[in-house]
């Protein structure tokens, strides 16, 4: 009965919030003849030898009505592009590993427009890829005269353009930028650059479909990094970096053995469960939270916000109060923020807000992967 209600709730959510031609999650066909269970593989490479050189071209080549698992294999490289998968289901995106295979873009502005990689489609798997949202991604283009003086910077959108801007910089900033030459420079991390203080949301990945899974992936940004928007999601051994609300949304998600890097003062999560029967909430199990700055584990993004950290390690980056209601001050009793069996310098719960919940050993069973998001066993069937 409860499962039926949850499924109905899920159905209802997809019916009402998908403003695009929305499809139901299908059962993707599995190729039993193939060790990786897929029907074909599309190789993407920037240095030749692949069918395509961009991720977008590979996605475009898959038929709209695709109903069988297809793999896009990304050769190592930094792919600077903004990608959106609206309806195509049953796609596996596989990199070599998250340190060498990076998809990045710089479109910081509002959350909607800034998304580097946007997946509305159901049945999506990513492995070994870093998704990155860059704020002010500059390339050190040309040294105009000897420092300390002017550098010509170029906003980098796939190709170098000359419409860069001139800026006066300090010695230290110039030397740091030189070290970062050719890389995605997130100016949030360049505090001595006086012009870069403005913080804007920049989403590295939006997960907006049901049955999406991520293995050994990286999500890097500063504010709103991972928009875990809606649907059931499974994150295994992933790396998530940011400072402000950097894991947020209304998804029903398990974060298993993930590494969370706090890069400034802020909030790790902003969960947005909105009704008591909505299948929504973030569960962190066996994760490591470290970094610099002081963060809250979460602030409530809607009245029934639900976040639990269990069996995890917290470095010295968690504020003693732990949690915040944000704009949901009337919903202390409905918000579920809890910690279970966590260790480390940040895990002392004696000064936590009095309304945070405690969970019993039997209570945490409801937050196992199986019980929470995988009653139908979709995860083990994934290619
Ligand atoms: C955390 O992020 C900072 C800034 O990007 C980086 O310098 C540091 O190495 C990261 N720490 C871990 C554990 O990955």
Rounded to whole angstroms, how far apart are CA atoms 25 and 375? 15
* Average pLDDT value for the chain: 84
The C-alpha torsion from 291 through 294 and 298 to 302, rounded to 10°, is -130
Average pLDDT on 209-232 reads 96
Let me know: does 221 contact 240? Beta carbons within 8 Å: no
CA 272 to chain centre: 15
* Residue to mutate (ligand 1; options 220, 223, 261; most atoms within 8 A of CB): 261
Rounded to whole angstroms, how far apart are CA atoms 239 and 292? 15
Does residue 329 carry a pLDDT above 80? Answer: yes
Average pLDDT on 43-53 reads 95
Is the CB of residue 290 below 6 angstroms from any atom belonging to ligand 1? yes
Let me know: does 53 contact 131? Beta carbons within 8 Å: no
Q: Active site includes 245? A: yes
Q: Give the sheet arrangement for strand 281-285, strand by strand.
A: 40-44, 70-74, 91-94, 124-127, 212-215, 232-236, 252-256, 281-285, 306-310, 336-340
Q: Which of 166-170, 177-181, 229-233 has the highest mean predicted lDDT (pLDDT)?
A: 229-233
Is the CB of residue 82 below 6 angstroms from any atom belonging to ligand 1? no
Does residue 171 carry a pLDDT above 90? Answer: no
Residue 8's φ and ψ, nearest 5 degrees, are: -65, -40
Distance (angstroms) between ligand 1 centre and the Cα of 343 equals 21
pTM of the full structure: 0.85
**Residue 186 has what pLDDT?**
54
Let me know: does 217 contact 128? Beta carbons within 8 Å: yes
Map residue 356 onto helix, strand or coil: coil
Catalytic residue among 106, 118, 193, 224: 224
Does residue 194 carry a pLDDT above 90? Answer: no
Distance (angstroms) between ligand 1 centre and the Cα of 316 equals 15
| pLDDT greater at residue 23 or residue 6 | 23
pLDDT in tens, 248-259: 999 999 999 999
Does residue 363 carry a pLDDT above 60? Answer: yes
Q: Which residue has the tokens 């499924």?
A: 7
* Residue to mutate (ligand 1; options 191, 225, 241; most atoms within 8 A of CB): 241
Does residue 16 carry a pLDDT above 50? Answer: no
Rounded to whole angstroms, how far apart are CA atoms 198 and 253? 31
Q: Active site includes 374? A: no
> SS in 3 state form for 210-226?
CCEEEECCEEECCECCE
Radius of gyration of the chain, Cα coordinates, nearest whole angstrom: 21
**Residue 77 has what pLDDT?**
94
Residues 6+ apart with CB under 8 A from 367: 283, 285, 308, 310, 359
**Ligand 1 atom 3: the closest Cα is on which residue?**
263
Residues 6+ apart with CB under 8 A from 181: 139, 140
Does residue 189 carry a pLDDT above 80? Answer: no
Let me know: does 148 contact 112? Beta carbons within 8 Å: no
Q: Work out the angle at residue 37's Cα, subtended by the Cα atoms of residues 33 and 38, and round it to the nearest 5 degrees.
A: 100
Does residue 304 carry a pLDDT above 80? Answer: yes
Map residue 40 onto helix, strand or coil: strand
pLDDT in tens, 118-139: 999 999 999 999 999 875 444 4
Does residue 33 carry a pLDDT above 70? Answer: yes
**Residue 108 has what pLDDT?**
65
**Residue 3 has what pLDDT?**
53
């Amino acid at each position: 009965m409860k499962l039926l209600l949850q499924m109905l709730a899920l159905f209802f959510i997809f019916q009402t919030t998908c403003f695009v031609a929305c499809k139901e999650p299908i059962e993707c066909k599995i190729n039993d003849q193939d060790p990786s269970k897929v029907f074909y593989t599309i190789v993407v490479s920037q240095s030749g030898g692949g069918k395509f050189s961009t991720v977008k071209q590979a996605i475009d080549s898959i038929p709209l009505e695709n109903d069988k698992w297809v793999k896009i294999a990304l050769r190592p490289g930094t792919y600077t592009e903004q990608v959106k998968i609206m309806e195509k289901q049953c796609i596996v995106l596989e990199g070599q590993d998250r340190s060498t295979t990076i998809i990045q873009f710089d479109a910081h502005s509002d959350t909607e427009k800034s998304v580097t990689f946007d997946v509305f489609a159901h049945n999506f798997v990513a492995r070994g890829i870093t998704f990155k949202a860059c704020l002010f991604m500059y390339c050190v283009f040309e040294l105009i005269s000897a420092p300390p003086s002017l550098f010509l910077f170029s906003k980098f959108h796939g190709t170098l353009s000359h419409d860069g801007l001139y800026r006066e910089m300090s010695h230290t900033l110039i030397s740091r930028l030189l070290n970062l030459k050719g890389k995605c420079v997130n100016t949030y991390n360049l505090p001595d650059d006086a012009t870069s203080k403005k913080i804007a949301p920049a989403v590295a990945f939006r997960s907006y479909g049901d049955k999406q899974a991520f293995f050994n992936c990286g999500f890097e940004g500063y504010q709103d990094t991972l928009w875990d928007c809606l649907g059931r999601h499974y994150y295994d051994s992933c790396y998530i970096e940011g400072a402000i609300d950097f894991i947020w949304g209304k998804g029903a998600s398990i974060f298993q053995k993930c590494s969370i890097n706090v890069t400034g003062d802020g909030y790790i999560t902003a969960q947005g469960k909105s009704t008591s029967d909505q299948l929504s909430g973030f569960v962190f199990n066996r994760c490591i939270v470290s970094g610099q700055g002081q963060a809250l584990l979460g602030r409530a993004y809607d009245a029934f916000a639900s976040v639990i950290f269990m069996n995890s390690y917290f470095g010295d980056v968690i504020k003693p109060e732990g949690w915040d209601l944000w704009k949901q001050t009337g919903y202390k009793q409905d918000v579920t923020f809890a910690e279970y069996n966590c260790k480390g310098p940040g895990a002392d719960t004696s000064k936590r807000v009095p309304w945070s919940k405690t969970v019993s050993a039997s209570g945490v069973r409801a937050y196992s992967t199986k019980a929470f998001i995988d009653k139908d066993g979709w995860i083990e069937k994934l290619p």
